[in-house]
Structure 1
Amino acid sequence: MSPVPLRHAGALGAVAATLALGALVVPRAAGAAPSSDALIAEVYGGGGNSGATLTQDFVELANRGSQQVSVDGWSVQYLPASPGPTSKWQVTRLTGGIPGGSRYLVAEAKGSGGTVALPAPDATGSISMSATAGTVALVTGSDALTCLTAADCAADPRIRDLVGFGGAMVREGASAPAASNTTSVSRGAGLADTDDNGADFATAAPTPTGSGGGSGDPSPTPTPTPTDPPTPGGIRIHDIQGTTRISPDNGKSVTNVPGIVTGVRATGSSRGFWFQDPQPDDDPRTSEGLFAFTGSSTPAVNPGDSVLVSGTVSEYYPGGASSGNQSVTELTKPKWTVLSSGDPLPAAFALGPDTVPAAYTPDAGGGGIEPLALQPSAYALDRFESLEGMRVRVDDAPVIAPANEYGELWVTTRPADHRSVHGGVLYSSYDDPNSGRLEITSLLPGSFPQANVGDELTGTTEGPLDYVGYGGYEMQATALGALRDGGLTPEVTRRQENKELAVATYNVENLAPGDAPSKFGRLAEGVVHNLATPDIVALEEIQDNSGAADDGTVAADVTLGRFVDAIVAAGGPRYQWREIDPVNDSDGGQPGGNIRVAFLFNPDRVSFIDRPGGDSTTPVRVVADHGDAGLSVSPGRVDPANAAWTDSRKPLAGMFEFHGHRVIVVADHFNSKGGDQSLHSRFQPPARSSEVQRRRQAAVVHGFVEDLLKADRKANVVVVGDFNDYQFSPALQTLTAGDVLHDLIGDLPLPERYSYVYDGNSQVLDHILTSPRVSGGADYDVVHINAEFAGQTSDHDPQVVRLRPKG
């Protein structure tokens, strides 16, 4: 799996959780030192409970500093006191700011009891917090946190402040005391912040205070005095959107902006509605659509309502400004008046090869494109930005990435560009990210179409155009075309001949004993049927016996044993395995999972040459062995102490014998792309910071193979795995430098060069490379069984090479 930075609010919890078996008392990370300004001042979860006076839960923030702190795009998040492996952080998004020395009130779930309402809140959510115990975090972004231990949360730079109370496992220092239906936990008037919740917080009667001051008021809301019907103000949506990516009115209040409601988001923590001006200006750079953000409250409007909307113009960065993502221009704290209903919707802008440019984005030399005037006829990203919030449509849209678990798929608006053998879109160069890609989700009730690559949404698919942190520009469909089945079926490769050695690589996506039997069964069927029972299978992302539980377990014999049993049940041989347990929590991946690479081999066809002494820290060395290149330990890790492997998997080398010939296989899983800026980043070209480590890793593996070939120029060497990088990347260029290794992906016809589909791009992350002795005549196949299918078993397609080793 290649982790991605952050997912948008509509699909929280994309990353699997870690089981916290005990609280870890650790200092906060250096980037999360005691706050000099914004922090959590008070938490109350007993609102509306038996004996409570207040009707509602709340979190109160405070600003210890003298300058206002903007919390636009920030969030307050809540986690149960004892999180389990499926626990998720709940999110309430914040807007506006906290003036120096002031308070900010976040209202949460309302109960059936109590008599006193909260004072006017600054933000409203729907989180039902425990009255006695839990964890609340102030986060500089609105994507759900994924940390489930104190140590992991301390290392997350997005967490600005955190309080765990009532014995919560996730906390700063010692836990704050337990609260109740009648008491909150509060820092008190001094707002002490020593990063020790037990020292900083005490229990007391709740005292909710917002930016307007005051406490709960049980008096009824006065009946408003009738006024004359409102009239449109002097500012229109195109004035707010402006001709660049940032509104000229950012941070300003606007009144009675007219428009027609075109779509309503009624789920998640980022609810609201889109409205569009039916009287556009004549500037193609200025969008006529806008999103009104209502937080966790579903707005009482419907498509076709003619509205006047007032609020504060804001630029919201999905994932936070530090993510590098673009912003969404929106109205926060909106108030509106419905003038009429059933009005016709503005016509949807047709997206196609004539309207979406082939060029993707202007090159800013790595700098920001926000201040640049939009050029919608020249660049696709500018075209989409000029339509942000507006109704758009695609007709007879080819599906280029399958439907996922979050109800999203990708289509292309430029059907003639760079198509793969199955109808996807190939990513073959940093210079051409494929401008026609567009993500689709749905505002419609009911199930989302389970589309595969090569299917088609026939007819018209239309809706407002949004921007999300994970995926970029995304149509929020109010009408979906009918799904036409393209007939895609999983591939089946041929079986190797008697004298052919079949070596495969397969990323099995965090395989752990706790996974459903169906996952083991489908992966096993892939090995036996689709891969035709290879002689050697290098596996990536094998987790330890306790899966994501961070309990010190590192052994993976249960995981591998279950997989081998599933292969036998599917009609395959009883493979044997070789692997080396890592040092606990030192190889990256899902926290607690201790993923590693491992070899399966069919003992009826191939022998493993064991050389004792290999462990997690002992490096394997190249040795001369009766005229052959040999290994000092087998299996053995390649230079495991090298800084190139920090928080990443270490390559595993092993010696095999096939028909009297020695073959050395090196299994790899390079560091992920986490932390890279997205293709749709506001910085262009985007920074690929993770690439530096992969290039260092490639140099280590390249040097190891060089040593093998120095010992025996005719050595049969196969290097396989998930390299988390493209065939044209610096890492793969480093691996293939000189006459050392040949990347077999280049031998396939161009439309077949992919093993993974991400953001609508069919791309190469997995590779099989061979030494000169076995490169000639190698029969190589990427077996497409996962990446293009909805409901995939893994996010990677496996690969296999059939070769004839020589002496």
Structure 2
Amino acid sequence: MMSSQRRATMAGGAALVAALGVVVTPGAVAEGAPAPTATRIHDVQGTTRLSPLEGDRVTVPGVVTATRTFGASRGFWIQDAHGDGDPRTSEGLFVFTGDRTPDVAPGEVVAATGTVAEYYPGDPATTAAQSTTELVDAEWTVTARGADVPEALPVGPDTVPERLSARPGGSIEGLTLRPDTYALDFWEAHEGELVSVVDSRLVSRSTDYNELYVTTKPEQNPSERGGTVYSGYDRPNTGVLKIESLIPFSERPFPEADTGDTLAGVTSGPVAYDSYGGYTLMANTLGEVKRGGLEREVTRPQRPGELSVATYNVENLSAVDGGEKFAELAEGVVTNLRSPDILTLEEIQDDNGPEGIGDGVVSADETLRRFTDAIVTAGGPRYEWRQIDPVEGADGGQPGGNIRVGFLFDPERVSFVDREGGDATTPVRARRAPGGARLSVSPGRIEPADPAWHESRKPLAGEFVFRGRTVFVVANHFASKGGDQPTHGRFQPPERTTEPQRVRQAEVVRDFVGELLAVDRRANVVVAGDLNDFPFSPTLATLTEGGALGSLVDTLPPDQRYSYVFEGNSQVLDHILVSAAPHRVDYDVVHVNAEFADQASDHDPQIVRFLPR
């Protein structure tokens, strides 16, 4: 297996290749090196994901279809206009030129000489990403100009198979491609070839990395607002396709778009694989974004007798952030969430955020002061806050940020029961009290020493009183999914390596709720936050096991079940669960961020309104 590192050296062999009828320009060749073998692109690509000619030095003819002229990974794509008729073998190939801008243009016919390599983004021994078959250490000769560029393959609703991949329980690299059966095989069989989409719906905002995601299957799991809902491990959205631009941004800035917009007209270019987002259309013809008019949602206000509890991941908010972020988040709280009585916050950072790694600063008072001041400026109530400073560097997240969860509450509507003794290492317990249950400390962390919370945020329990009724709220931010294998990777089914930690975290929180309900089976309990897992995951199944907690996202219609958009999939990571006691429960995911290019956070907040018993 060749190294995963791209090589920018342009030295290479030279030979008269009579079989192709072209002359390869002479260049420096290592003494005694064999002459390159004349072959065709489909022979280089082969019928599996790995080239049968890997490591060989070859010369192949092709028509230049596209060039990548900026960035650190430059090169050009060539395509054989006369294929072998085998749908498993791609007729396109990327010629890697490193940081050298290729001096070719679409429509030129070239003979490209180079070493066949499989490029992996990362260590090929460990990465779950697929490889790209390409030529490295390349040189080329232009043999003709003005040739017809091969016609792009139109991709529509019925082009890509519904099934994602074979699932051998390991690598799919050695399996013979079945492009008529599996979506990943279809795209691999067209690696490097030109494809096109027309008037495609965007199922994600334009990302911070200059990416667009469209759906080629507009009827596949559509959300009510134009996205594509991810509804199960066995139901991947095979119509989602990522698009990047090969057009220099100095010539055409990358478009800004919201979910539900349309990429109007024709978008075409060669197929490439990216470890972020999977198979990608690298557009040298890019359509125009036609606005769909998506608007931010506004929930209804709580009625006088209703308690409203919201959860909001505020994406690494710290006191060093600019005023604009605080103002936008505050506007969301006041206008879109209608100033809820209680907010659980995730991703609150300490007062100097990631700027202070190992500096001993763990307090978040300035962060929360700025946030609550911004809420007042936006016309909201003067919230108070409760939280517990973590042990420095112990809770994961952005290094130096000392991320944690916390509560905001409106003291005009609800009271917080302060019970001393809660700190970073002291566990909260359920206690029996006259009339029901109480917390041993409030606020208090749930089992902070349990290995489940290693390098992860510890859940925070708080005791509140609303109109004489006690309500227990648990704020959560479970361990990240970072490290799981991608759905589009070379290992199928992908391993969810981070899942066991979240399952254990769910057990700990579920058991704590069980302790409260054992003391008072009619206790009002709300469990809320970023659980970093899906409604259909073992994590949520564990948390709801036994029926003590009900997951509210399951009460929504399927096309409304999402709070986050990742790689074109609208999905649920944030959750609110309640015990059986609350009645007249009304739940809403308020879409204000995840679908929009302009966003204050990458998560949408959620809110529940109910009457406590």
When normalised by structure 2's length, the TM-score is 0.94
Secondary structure (helix, strand or coil) at the match of 2:44 reads helix
Partner of 2:136: 332
Partners of 1:652 and 1:73 in 2: CA distance: 44
Asked if the contact 1:402/1:788 (under 8 Å) is kept, the reply is: yes
Matched, 1:784 2:588: no
Partner of 1:296: 99
Partners of 2:9 and 2:405 in 1: CA distance: 47
Partner of 1:708: 516
Partner of 1:772: 580
Identity of aligned residues (%): 57
Deviations 1:319-366 (A, max 9, x none): 3321211100011111001122332211001112221011111111x2
Distance change >3 Å, CA 392–CA 753, structure 1 → 2:
same
Partner of 1:758: 566
Partners of 1:263 and 1:598 in 2: CA distance: 51
Deviations 1:108-139 (A, max 9, x none): xxxxxxxxxxxxxx748xxxxxxxxxxxxxxx
Partners of 1:525 and 1:359 in 2: CA distance: 42
Partners of 1:695 and 1:688 in 2: CA distance: 12
Partners of 1:348 and 1:301 in 2: CA distance: 19
Partner of 2:408: 600
Q: Which amino acid aligns with 1:72?
A: S
Displacement of 1:627: 2.4
Q: Which amino acid aligns with 2:162?
A: A
Partner of 2:268: 462
Displacement of 1:546: 1.1
Q: Which amino acid aligns with 2:569?
A: N
Given the alignment, which residue of 462, 472, 483 partners 1:654?
Answer: 462
Distance change >3 Å, CA 656–CA 743, structure 1 → 2:
same
Asked if the contact 2:2/2:117 (under 8 Å) is kept, the reply is: no
Matched, 1:351 2:155: yes
Matched, 1:611 2:414: no
Partner of 1:416: 219
Partner of 1:63: none
Q: Which amino acid aligns with 1:662?
A: T
Partners of 1:261 and 1:308 in 2: CA distance: 10
Given the alignment, which residue of 8, 15, 23 partners 1:230?
Answer: 23
Partner of 1:511: 317
Displacement of 1:514: 1.7
The 5-angstrom pairing of residues 276-287 of structure 1 reads 276-287=79-90
Partner of 2:73: 270
Given the alignment, which residue of 545, 555, 559 partners 2:363?
Answer: 555
The 5-angstrom pairing of residues 648-797 of structure 1 reads 648-774=456-582, 776-797=583-604
Partners of 2:587 and 2:108 in 1: CA distance: 58
Displacement of 1:552: 2.4
Partners of 2:197 and 2:22 in 1: CA distance: 38
Deviations 1:551-593 (A, max 9, x none): 2211111111111111111111111000000001110111111
Partners of 1:296 and 1:747 in 2: CA distance: 53
Aligned residues: 591
The 5-angstrom pairing of residues 495-534 of structure 1 reads 495-534=301-340
Deviations 1:588-641 (A, max 9, x none): 111111110010001111110000010000000110121211100000000000
The 5-angstrom pairing of residues 355-366 of structure 1 reads 355-364=159-168, 366=169
Displacement of 1:234: 3.0
Partners of 1:320 and 1:262 in 2: CA distance: 30
- What are structure 2's unaligned runs of at least 5 residues? 25-35
Displacement of 1:451: 1.2
Partners of 1:705 and 1:123 in 2: CA distance: 61
Secondary structure (helix, strand or coil) at the match of 1:564 reads helix
Q: Which amino acid aligns with 1:316?
A: Y
Matched, 1:72 2:3: yes
Distance change >3 Å, CA 303–CA 743, structure 1 → 2:
same
Q: Which amino acid aligns with 2:253?
A: S
Deviations 1:128-170 (A, max 9, x none): xxxxxxxxxxxxxxxxxxxxxxxxxxxxxxxxxxxxxxxxxxx
Partners of 2:348 and 2:69 in 1: CA distance: 39
Asked if the contact 1:462/1:480 (under 8 Å) is kept, the reply is: yes
Given the alignment, which residue of 254, 273, 296 partners 1:448?
Answer: 254
Partner of 1:239: 43
Secondary structure (helix, strand or coil) at the match of 1:323 reads coil
The 5-angstrom pairing of residues 118-157 of structure 1 reads 123=9
Partners of 1:682 and 1:792 in 2: CA distance: 33
Q: Which amino acid aligns with 1:353?
A: P
Partner of 2:429: 621
Asked if the contact 2:114/2:137 (under 8 Å) is kept, the reply is: yes
Partners of 2:226 and 2:178 in 1: CA distance: 30
Which segment drifts farther, 299-308 or 323-332? 299-308
Q: Which amino acid aligns with 1:740?
A: A
Deviations 1:505-551 (A, max 9, x none): 00011011221211111111000000010010101000111110202
Partners of 2:105 and 2:598 in 1: CA distance: 33
When normalised by structure 1's length, the TM-score is 0.72
Displacement of 1:458: 1.7
Partners of 2:22 and 2:309 in 1: CA distance: 75
Matched, 1:574 2:505: no
Displacement of 1:482: 2.1
Secondary structure (helix, strand or coil) at the match of 1:699 reads helix
Q: Which amino acid aligns with 1:230?
A: V
Displacement of 1:297: 1.6
Partners of 2:410 and 2:148 in 1: CA distance: 66
Q: Which amino acid aligns with 2:87?
A: P
Partner of 1:305: 108
- What are structure 1's unaligned runs of at least 5 residues? 1-69, 75-93, 96-121, 125-209, 212-223
Secondary structure (helix, strand or coil) at the match of 2:427 reads coil
Asked if the contact 2:2/2:55 (under 8 Å) is kept, the reply is: no
Asked if the contact 1:608/1:656 (under 8 Å) is kept, the reply is: yes
Partners of 1:415 and 1:488 in 2: CA distance: 17
Which segment drifts farther, 649-658 or 314-323? 314-323
Displacement of 1:739: 2.1
Partner of 2:241: 438
The 5-angstrom pairing of residues 4-23 of structure 1 reads none
Secondary structure (helix, strand or coil) at the match of 1:574 reads coil
Partners of 2:369 and 2:472 in 1: CA distance: 24
Partners of 2:321 and 2:191 in 1: CA distance: 40
Asked if the contact 2:53/2:116 (under 8 Å) is kept, the reply is: yes
Displacement of 1:263: 1.3
Asked if the contact 1:724/1:766 (under 8 Å) is kept, the reply is: yes
RMSD: 1.8
Q: Which amino acid aligns with 1:526?
A: G
Asked if the contact 1:404/1:790 (under 8 Å) is kept, the reply is: yes
Partners of 1:745 and 1:714 in 2: CA distance: 22
Displacement of 1:415: 1.1
Asked if the contact 1:319/1:469 (under 8 Å) is kept, the reply is: no
Matched, 1:385 2:188: yes
Q: Which amino acid aligns with 2:605?
A: P
Secondary structure (helix, strand or coil) at the match of 2:101 reads coil
Partners of 1:777 and 1:229 in 2: CA distance: 79
Partner of 1:181: none
Asked if the contact 1:505/1:537 (under 8 Å) is kept, the reply is: yes
Partners of 1:71 and 1:317 in 2: CA distance: 9
Asked if the contact 1:503/1:535 (under 8 Å) is kept, the reply is: yes
Q: Which amino acid aligns with 1:788?
A: E
Asked if the contact 1:404/1:791 (under 8 Å) is kept, the reply is: no
Displacement of 1:736: 0.5
Partners of 1:800 and 1:640 in 2: CA distance: 27
Partners of 1:329 and 1:512 in 2: CA distance: 44
**Greater relative contact order: 1 or 2 (C-alpha under 8 angstroms, separation 6 or more)?**
2
